[in-house]
Amino acid sequence: MKRLFSSLMLAGLTTLPASGFAADSYRWLHVTIETPWIIFLILLPMVLIPAVLMAILYWKFAGSTPEVEKKDESSKQPSESLTSKSEPTDL
């Protein structure tokens, strides 16, 4: 059954006039004076969006250093400060 189906598909594709479809699609391939502008307008966001995102992220994280981040993390964890106060110190 599978062999019959594939042979019928092959026969159908060989008899199908593919050149008739190509004649109509040629009108989409014309290059006009507006074509470079359309390409420019498509490529412009592809270049600018990552650059703007990189500038925003750089501006956001410009003042932070690893020491400041560690200090912020240690202030958020009160369990460490409790354990150090409860331990006896040897004098």
pLDDT in tens, 7-22: 888 777 777 665 555 5
What is the residue type of 49?
A: I
Q: What are phi and psi of 34, to 5 degrees?
A: -85, -10
pLDDT at 73 over 70: no
Q: What's the confidence (pLDDT) of residue 11?
A: 78
Residue 59 token pair: 């501006």
Q: What's the confidence (pLDDT) of residue 44?
A: 94
Residue corresponding to tokens 């369990």: 79
Residue 84 token pair: 């150090």
Residue corresponding to tokens 């412009």: 44
Q: Is the pTM of the predicted complex or chain greater than 0.75?
A: no
